[in-house]
Structure 1
């Protein structure tokens, strides 16, 4: 089969979506399919890699931090995409990655060319926008666009049953396959590294993450355990707010804010950290979300402190106790600080970390998830779903 992957972000640009889509491409090609990727030209700072698939890039607008994020950057990808996909060699099936505007373009072009497409709904974008804007008009338009993208898909793939419920709430009765999510254990794995007095937050930090509670917790923790650092690696709309909160609490000198880095480099940070921290703010439409950064941390043998609602807490609680996977707690600064104290006092345990990484590699790999998505694409592309 010929499979097209459409996404504004792809490897080598560091992100969870890049790792996931690259893994899907690898799984497809391992099964003998050819893959064409229509994506954006990566930022200049990205590492160069030699792609085995047919990757076709196009220049896009990026925000001041270098990301394709925001209405104009999305349009700068979506408008040329309509022509690129319309005249590309006809694929048997298309895999479309959000935002919903990209999904809408894919639906229109695929309808014109009579090509089925699969939509990757890792989360619900209109729910996220509800946290970022007070404009009801913007939310209504985005919900309509997202519903349009979901309804036109032959199949939707997603990571959890919580997203399935939100897809149904939006009025889309499209077939949904829960493929889960996992760690790219080729990139994130246990390595011997010197332990450091460090806690790590790796990933995006937008309003629905509520990462400001982590700053409060670190300030409380530092009063009893001075000399530790908090390292925040990633990007998000809340960066300036987090920096101001750190200054107000007097801990800004102990907190590093770093841009996203390549997985292999991030793995070394996990390897030396006491634990990573992940948060999800309660009382938002995003309570169903899973903190996927958890998988990468655990694969590197780094325990996780998770604070908030959703399925991440039960997932951590379900990991065998002797592996030291970390802890889940309420979205409360003092509870997070207490978890940090327990892990800091427990010390660095290399053998436990190796056992934790091995357990993740055996149970929650991105390879397995990508294989499931590849099978869905093969099913749709072969016409079996339509017949």
Structure 2
């Protein structure tokens, strides 16, 4: 183990997700690690060995990454209580005997609790990166009352003990405060995408007409609404297709639905790297984004929205109010309710906009908005400043 350089604070990040995994969480943590290194910290990351489908990319410069095998589900995700435990149990030893002045814990709260206990034993401060509210998510998935109560206790304990908590939005902050976080110790750092990767200057991956969905396919997104909507316009537009890239808990059901409703018109490309995803988004008629309302994630603003905007591609957002408001206020595309007929009508309008040239005329405008508001590098710098402020705070 390399000793930290004199005068440089040693910061350790504990997260089950880290680049090169293809996920918003991994990208956030990569940006934070780079931001901390640029701010003069010695940064070490304790994480997992990436799944086989992760793209081969180097670790961030100046960041020491320690990887360890972990249990994953059938889709290659560290998702589920057993999978979380397979990371959290070894983490106790991996972080307890490492040199550091400040720790950062990424959700879930089980990881946060491990870091909180070790930080208390070491008499060191820690920061908690709360991209969402796990208690709400567990409850929305229909977990039993005892499971929800345990998760609430863990999340509350972590929030109350963290010297600083990083939040991605005002809506998430409000939920964290409701759980017991001290608002004065919560810093909103925002969320974003790598605008060097997602750009309007990319060469499109294809030149046919298609709608594209990238990323996780889960119960709280319910992307089946796009298949159902597309089925209602497929005969009107025989040359248009639907493309999915990524994976998730509902992918198998989604494939079966597509084969039943629109056989041969929906393709599933699996997990692809950020550069490939960006090229597919750049060439699309619109990028599809959804948040099923009323299941605990109404405050979410998915990074899929930002990725599309950075490529100058219109967004078709279906679902919860917060995401709809973002798309409508920034004029990033179409924002509709979680209704297949509304989504189908929005698809028709987006196809017409592409044919008329409106999509290309507004591409630069949308990309400029992303560059000014959701640059991942800027998010990483804000997050790094917030984390380092924990050195002068007392939990």
Fold similarity call, TM over 0.5 = yes
Give the alignment partner of residue 336 of structure 1, picking from 330, 343, 351: 343
Does residue 23 of the first structure (1) align with residue 31 of the second (2)?
yes
- List gaps (5 residues or longer) in structure 1: none
Structure 1 residue aligned with 2:144: 135
SS, match of residue 253 in structure 1: coil
SS, match of residue 352 in structure 2: helix
TM-score of the aligned structures, taking structure 1 as reference length: 0.93
Does residue 38 of the first structure (1) align with residue 46 of the second (2)?
yes
- Give how far 1:173 is off: 2.9
Structure 1 residue aligned with 2:3: none
Give the alignment partner of residue 239 of structure 1, picking from 251, 256, 261: 251
Q: How many residue pairs align between the two structures?
A: 379
Conserved? CA contact 1:203–1:235, under 8 Å: yes
Rounded to whole Å, the distance in 1 between the matches of 2:168 and 2:234 is 36
Structure 2 residue aligned with 1:196: 208
When the two chains are superposed, the root-mean-square deviation of aligned CA atoms in Å is 1.8
Are the structure 2 counterparts of residues 113 and 153 from structure 1 closer, same or farther at C-alpha, using a change threshold of 3 Å?
same
1:92-127 CA-partner distances (Å, limit 9, x unpaired):
211111111111111111110111111111111121
Rounded to whole Å, the distance in 2 between the matches of 1:123 and 1:50 is 28
Does residue 94 of the first structure (1) align with residue 106 of the second (2)?
no
1:221-264 CA-partner distances (Å, limit 9, x unpaired):
2132222111122222222222232233x214211223222101
Structure 2 residue aligned with 1:170: 179
Structure 1 residue aligned with 2:385: 375
Does residue 110 of the first structure (1) align with residue 122 of the second (2)?
no
- List gaps (5 residues or longer) in structure 2: 1-8
SS, match of residue 189 in structure 1: coil
Summarize the alignment of residues 230-309 of structure 1 with structure 2, pairs less than 5 Å apart. Answer: 230-248=242-260, 250-309=261-320
Rounded to whole Å, the distance in 1 between the matches of 2:369 and 2:96 is 44
Rounded to whole Å, the distance in 2 between the matches of 1:47 and 1:282 is 33
Which deviates the most, 3-12 or 210-219?
210-219
Rounded to whole Å, the distance in 1 between the matches of 2:219 and 2:75 is 18
SS, match of residue 199 in structure 1: strand
- Give how far 1:84 is off: 0.4
Conserved? CA contact 2:128–2:164, under 8 Å: yes
Rounded to whole Å, the distance in 1 between the matches of 2:19 and 2:143 is 34
SS, match of residue 64 in structure 1: coil
Structure 1 residue aligned with 2:240: 228
SS, match of residue 140 in structure 2: helix
The 4+ residue runs of structure 1 with deviation greater than 4 A are none
